Chains A and B, each alone.
Chain A
Amino acid sequence: SQQGEEDPQALSIQEGENATMNCSYKTSINNLQWYRQNSGRGLVHLILIRSNEREKHSGRLRVTLDTSKKSSSLLITASRAADTASYFCATDGRSSASKIIFGSGTRLSIRP
């Protein structure tokens, strides 16, 4: 089962515009991570945000976390063609039985 659900499923924007993707999850978490996957390749870690953090930045990336709404957002500013990829959130649950669960992903396309 998928704990994290990304929204939208697909997003197409013009190069230079900002892209925002959202992730919702169901149970309490220790941390949430965002990963990027280029077509047919392995995943690359982008950023990790802990449950006691509300916002983190890394270069052109900004991640927010709202634990009261069980949601997170990933903002990519000044998008580039190389940002074309699928983006996944992954949650690490709090209970001892929790495991890392990836969402279904957002497919981002950057138009030149």
Chain B
Amino acid sequence: EAEVAQSPRYKITEKSQAVAFWCDPISGHATLYWYRQILGQGPELLVQFQDESVVDDSQLPKDRFSAERLKGVDSTLKIQPAELGDSAMYLCASSLRQGAYEQFFGPGTRLTVL
């Protein structure tokens, strides 16, 4: 069964360091999402891609976060520099296309910033 892959599963870093997360969506899925989930809360959308184009990055802290999906397949989310408040679960999801389509989530990357 096709799955969304994410790596690493866990990342511990010190503040001011750079971190990067990788996501490989289900093959053929045009839409890719990055979410941040703080413990006890729902996922918050950071950025949404349609193929290689950014559809929505209104909640992405652009002074320190960046995301790319150069070939419209896999994607990388980067934080530089990391801050203590960035500690959270980072989830990647993909769907066939935008709109009324089920999102398939990866297992997430648990980030701890010390």
Q: List the A side residues contacting B103 at CB < 8 Å.
A: 33, 35, 43, 45, 90, 100
Contact of B42 among A2, A44, A48, A92 (CB under 8 A): A2
A99 and B56 in contact, given A41-B107, A43-B91 (Cβ under 8 angstroms):
yes
* A30/B106 in contact, CB under 8 A: no
Q: Is the CB of B42 within 8 A of A99?
A: no
Assuming the contacts A42-B91, A99-B58, A100-B33, asked whether A105 and B42 have C-beta atoms less than 8 A apart, the reply is yes
* A contacts, CB < 8 Å to B: 2, 4, 30-31, 33, 35, 40-45, 48, 50, 88, 90, 92, 99-105
B25 at the interface (CB under 8 A from A): no
- The interface centre, meaning the residue of A33, A43, A50, A88 with most chain B CB atoms within 10 A of its CB, is A43
Q: Interface size of B by Cβ–Cβ distance < 8 Å? A: 24
Q: Is the CB of A48 within 8 A of B102?
A: yes
Task: Give B contacts to A, CB under 8 Å.
Answer: 4, 33, 35, 41-45, 48, 56, 58, 89, 91, 93, 99-100, 102-108, 110
CB distance from A20 to the nearest CB of B (A): 19
Name the residue of chain B whose CB is nearest to the CB of A100.
B45
Q: Which residues of A contact B107 (CB under 8 A)?
A: 41-42
Closest B residue to A30 by beta carbon equals B100
| Most chain B Cβ neighbours within 10 Å, of A41, A44, A99, A101 | A99
Q: With a CB–CB cut-off of 8 A, which chain A residues contact B108?
A: 40-42
